[in-house]
Copies of this chain bind each other. A is one copy, B any other.
Amino acid sequence: MSSAVRSPQSISRCPVKRLDPLIRRLSLKLTPPSLEDNRSPEARLRAAVAQLLGEVPELPLPILQSLPPVLNRDWCPVVDCLFDGRWHVVAIHGESPPPPLGLAIDLGSTTVVFYLVDLSSGEVVHQRSALNPQVKYGEDILTRLHLASKKEGLERIHHLTIEFLNREILSLAEGVGYRPQDISILALAGNTTMTHFFLNLDPSMIFREPYVPLANRFDFFPAKDLALELSPLAKVYVFPNAGSYFGGDLIAGILASGMHRHPGLNFLVDVGTNAEVVLGNQDFLVACAGAAGPALEGGILTCGMRARKGAIERVRIDPESLQVNYKVIGDVPPEGLCGSGIIDLLAQMFLAGLVDQRGRLMIEKDPSRMVEIDGQRAYVVVFPEETSHGQPIYITEADIKNLIRSKGAMYTILTVVCRSVGVSFEDIENFYVAGAFGNYIDPEAAVIIGMLPDIPLSRFQPLGNAAGQGAICLLLNRQALGEIDEILKKLTYLEMNVRGEFMQLLTGALFIPHTDPNLFPSVKAKLGSRG
Point out the residue from B33, B62, B213, B216 that lies within 8 Å of A212, measured CB to CB: B33
| A142 and B65 alpha carbons, distance in the complex (Å) | 21
| A225 and B222 alpha carbons, distance in the complex (Å) | 12
Question: Which A57-71 residues have C-beta < 8 A from chain B?
Answer: 58-62, 64-65, 67-68
- Is A528 positioned at the interface, with any CB of B under 8 Å from its CB? no
Give chain B residues whose Cβ lies under 8 Å from the Cβ of A221.
Answer: 60-61
Interface pick from A38-46, A375-383, A414-422: A38-46
- Is A226 positioned at the interface, with any CB of B under 8 Å from its CB? yes
Q: Is the pair A214, B58 in contact by a Cβ cutoff of 8 Å?
A: no
Point out the residue from B38, B64, B210 that lies within 8 Å of A210, measured CB to CB: B38
Give chain B residues whose Cβ lies under 8 Å from the Cβ of A62.
Answer: 225
With a 10 A CB-CB cut-off, give which of A204, A214, A218, A226 has the most chain B CB atoms. Answer: A214
- Is A489 positioned at the interface, with any CB of B under 8 Å from its CB? no
Q: Is the pair A226, B61 in contact by a Cβ cutoff of 8 Å?
A: yes
| A211 and B33 alpha carbons, distance in the complex (Å) | 9
- Is A305 positioned at the interface, with any CB of B under 8 Å from its CB? no
- Is A353 positioned at the interface, with any CB of B under 8 Å from its CB? no
- Is A106 positioned at the interface, with any CB of B under 8 Å from its CB? no
- How many copies of this chain does the complex contain? 2
Given known A-B contacts A33-B205, A199-B64, A201-B64, A214 and B38 have beta carbons under 8 A apart: no
- Is A99 positioned at the interface, with any CB of B under 8 Å from its CB? no
Give chain B residues whose Cβ lies under 8 Å from the Cβ of A38.
Answer: 210-212, 243
With a 10 A CB-CB cut-off, give which of A38, A68, A205, A215 has the most chain B CB atoms. Answer: A215
| A46 and B225 alpha carbons, distance in the complex (Å) | 21
List residues of chain A with CB under 8 Å of any chain B CB.
33-35, 38-43, 46, 58-62, 64-65, 67-68, 199-202, 204-205, 209-219, 221, 225-226, 243
Can you report 5 residue pairs joining A to B where beta carbons are below 8 Å apart? A33-B205, A41-B212, A42-B214, A60-B219, A67-B214
Contacts A33-B205, A39-B212, A41-B215 aside, 19 further interface pairs with beta carbons under 8 A come to A33-B210, A33-B212, A35-B209, A35-B210, A38-B212, A41-B214, A43-B215, A43-B216, A58-B219, A60-B225, A61-B200, A61-B221, A61-B226, A64-B199, A64-B201, A64-B214, A65-B200, A65-B201, A68-B204
